[in-house]
Amino acid sequence: MTLAVLILALSAFTPHPFSFGCWRNERFDPARPGIVGLVRHPILAALGFWASGHLAPNGDLAHVLMFGGFAAFAVLGMVMIDKWCQRSMGVEAWQRLCPPVNLRYAGGPLRWLAAAVLLAGLIALHLVVIGLPAIW
């Protein structure tokens, strides 16, 4: 869950040409890709890590179907978005925008602080909202 929250916090409100949202994509710089330099689809990756992290402690059939479905959606979504982006922007433009793995620009201190606050909030509220403690 820590990894899912960290990826989510580092990717929120950042330019990202490989998503359907297309929010401020003109500001995307492949030389400074942020978390997109590590994970091309960070929101879907966070969803996949969240779902996978909930499979083992919730091993009954209903939870396996639900969390497994979310994990499958995340993986298939990444593949489908890549194919859609390649068709819509052209393979050459898509490859030019795909940044190399570069962790130097993964996010400023405010994003790391936001990740810590979000994780602490999720842990604190898990018992109240879900009915089970997040940490056993």
DSSP 87-99: HHH-HHHHHHHSP
Q: For the chain, give the number of residues.
A: 136
pLDDT at 106: 61
| pTM (2 d.p.) | 0.81
| 45-57 pLDDT per residue, tens | 999 999 999 998 8
pLDDT in tens, 9-49: 888 877 777 776 666 677 777 777 778 878 888 889 999 99
- In angstroms, the CA 25 to CA 14 distance is 8
